[in-house]
Structures are given as C-alpha cells and as structure tokens.
C-alpha cells in the first residue's frame, strides 16, 4: 500500500520553476496544471470506489496543488466524516459506531498504489512538454 514515503518527488523542480519564470513570467504557473493532470488520475480512480449516499463524500475528493506540490484532498466542512469513511475507527455518541480501521485507507492510497506508474509517466510527459514549450529542451 502507498504511504507518504511513496510520494513521487521531482529533483530540480524548484530550479525548473525558476527557469520557466525567467523565460516567461506566466509560464511557471503551468507547472501546477501539469501536476494537477497527474493527480487527477488518482482522483478519477478513487471516486468510483467511494460509497454513495448523498454523493457529498465522493464529490469532496479533489486535486489541491501549489506550484511545487500536488495533493489530493477529501472531506470538507460539509463532509467531516470522510476520514472515518476512508480509514475507519469509532465515532458517534460514546463511540458507538464502528468501522474497521485501515491504516492505508480504503480509497485514495490504494488508488494511488494502483496508478503510481501512470501518474509518474504523465507527470514526466507533461513537464517535458512544458520544458519544450519554454525552450529549455
């Protein structure tokens, strides 16, 4: 199963961002879009696995990124129960509602494990295209 230590890291990403900024003042912002495309693969894989009652939990899974990192967020103020749904545990009055605890989760981390190679290749492809577009390759 995927863990935080299984994250894909790109060496020189900050330097690439700086070089793209020098080429064109707005081009470095496209790195965020490239990372979003890669992370969206995991979101698309995880969403169908999430049980639907109202659809709020499923719709709360989304890509959240910066120019240097892509993340997947789930849950919100309207969906505070998402962590329980994905990982399990005890909730409710006197912790009366139980769901088996899975350290690796049920939806997002397993989806990442299943698609890691595709995410990595998409990220490489998109960053390479961005470098070509900026004249760095």
Q: 55-109: per-residue pLDDT in tens?
A: 999 999 999 988 778 899 999 999 999 999 999 999 989 999 999 999 999 999 9
- What pLDDT score was predicted for residue 84? 95
pTM score, whole prediction: 0.85
Cβ–Cβ under 8 Å, residues 137 and 124: no
Where would I find the H helices in 1-137? Answer: 13-23, 30-46, 56-59, 82-87, 108-133
| Averaged pLDDT for residues 128-134 | 85
Tracing tokens 């939990």 back to the chain, one arrives at 57
Residue 3 has pLDDT above 70, yes or no: no
Cβ–Cβ under 8 Å, residues 13 and 75: no
Q: What is the pLDDT of residues 20-38, one digit of tens each?
A: 788 777 777 788 888 899 9
Q: What is the DSSP letter of 71?
A: E
Tell whether the torsion through CA atoms of 98, 102, 105 and 111 is positive or negative. Answer: negative
CB atoms within 10 A of CB 58: 20
What backbone phi and psi angles, to 5 degrees, belong to 17?
-60, -40
């Amino acid at each position: 199963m995927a863990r935080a230590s299984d994250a894909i890291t790109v060496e020189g990403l900050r330097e690439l961002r700086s070089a793209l900024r020098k080429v064109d003042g707005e081009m470095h912002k496209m790195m965020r879009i490239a990372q979003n495309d890669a992370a969206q693969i995991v979101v698309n894989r995880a969403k169908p696995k999430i049980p639907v009652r109202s659809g709020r939990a499923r719709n709360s899974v989304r890509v959240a990124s910066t120019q240097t990192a892509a993340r997947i967020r789930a849950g919100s103020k309207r969906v505070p129960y998402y962590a329980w749904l994905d990982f399990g545990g005890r909730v409710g009055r006197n912790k009366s509602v139980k769901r088996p605890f899975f350290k690796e989760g049920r939806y997002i981390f397993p989806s990442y494990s299943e698609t890691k190679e595709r995410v990595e290749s998409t990220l490489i492809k998109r960053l390479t295209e961005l470098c070509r577009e900026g004249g760095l390759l």
